[in-house]
Amino acid sequence: MMTEGNIKRLVSKLSQMRGAALKLGQFMSIQDTHLLPPEVDKIFRRVQDSAHYMPDWQMEEVLTASFGSSWETHFTSFSRVPFAAASIGQVHHAVLAASSSPTGKDEGVAVKIQFPNIANSIASDLGYVKMLLTAGRLLPKGLFLDRTIQVMKDELADECDYSREASFLRRYGSPEYLGQDSRFKVPWVWEGSTDRVLVMEHVEGASVGEAVVASLSQEERNDIAARIVELCLRELFQFRLMQTDPNWTNFLWNSKARQVSLVDFGATREYSKEFIDNWLRLLQAAASDDRAACAEWSLRVGYLTGEENDVMVNAHIDSMALLATPFKASTSQPFAFGPGSQWADITAQIRSRIPIMLQHRLTPPPPETYSLNSGAFLLASRLRAVVDTKKLWDTVVESYRFE
């Protein structure tokens, strides 16, 4: 099954499907937890690197359906070749005409156009991916693939609604969220946007990835990472609203304005007060190395049923305690991320416990926790940053009010 020829055919097929394949790849490989067998992981990583654009006539059909046959009158220029392709759509440069622009003058915009019928194909595409992953029994039963597939199905359906994404852009850009925080830039949304075409302000900046890291000073890298870790904590414990896609291309660094621009809110999730209360109690217990409290709050959150053996319980509590290390009073600050750092050692220790948990887990993780990720830490690691994580934790968490 895993010959090079077959892998190429699978990558080609999954790249055309994009939505379901990329979502599963993001869930299981981008978080660097090594859940997948190497050969399957290799397929998803290659799919993520592939770019399939819709032909021009098809793009024209989507724009006409959204804005009418005279859609071009809204723009003084429109680049028909996309500059990026995501899991469910592609993005074009354009200039919004002054007559349509919210500022009353020509404005550069990014136009996100959804692939036709992708919302209708989610279930069948995920079925195809499930068939691929279950062929040859490549995956451990502890992954609870059916639950993972269902969560992805629900999240992809949400991400196909660009009107929903537009509403989150407006919320993040409001004064109550990040609108008055000069460290961040949230683009405005054109009111003419639809559920299949999203038009937003074009923002300057370079993706915080490998190409950018080499050109940044250590001070800049530390600053960017600190902002993103703080934002992650504020999203959870102030907003109860999180942009859950950990992909670093969603963060752009504008070195001239000294701003981090946030450009993708399709994977934004809201959390109930009850869940965040319990989740914070669990993290506080883990950060305090209180194993009894960690077990109790893991039961309340839904990680454990109470029927697990000691091997599973201890592996789970160990992993939670390791994850909370950057926020412990006993951890020396500032905390170092990146290769050869304390964080690299922590991730290796967590990874070593995953096979145990996959073997002994009795229940899938709570649905809310599928979206929670260590994306902020992964980005800090990519930046090889050094951050006072305990100070950020205290600043955000000390003002939290439990029910």
Write out the catalytic residue numbers.
245
Give SS3 for 390.
helix
Question: What contacts 6, CB < 8 A, 6 or more positions away?
Answer: none
- End-to-end, the C-alpha distance of the chain in Å comes to 53
The DSSP call for residue 80 is: S
Cα separation, 60 vs 71, in Å, equals 9
Cα separation, 90 vs 204, in Å, equals 18
The DSSP call for residue 189 is: B
CB 245 within 8 A of CB 199: no
Closest of 41, 12, 7 to residue 27, by C-alpha = 41
Closest of 51, 23, 58, 81 to residue 196, by C-alpha = 58
The DSSP call for residue 42 is: H
Token pair in block for residue 16: 């055309």
For the four alpha carbons of 33, 156, 273 and 376, in that order, the dihedral sign comes to positive
Closest of 79, 233, 247 to residue 159, by C-alpha = 247
Give the total residue count for the chain: 403
Q: Using CB atoms within 10 Å of the CB of residue 120, give its burial: 0 to 12 exposed, 13 to 18 middle, 19+ buried.
A: exposed
B/e letters for 189-210, b = 16+ CB within 10 Å, e = fewer, are: bbeebbebbbbbbbbebebbee
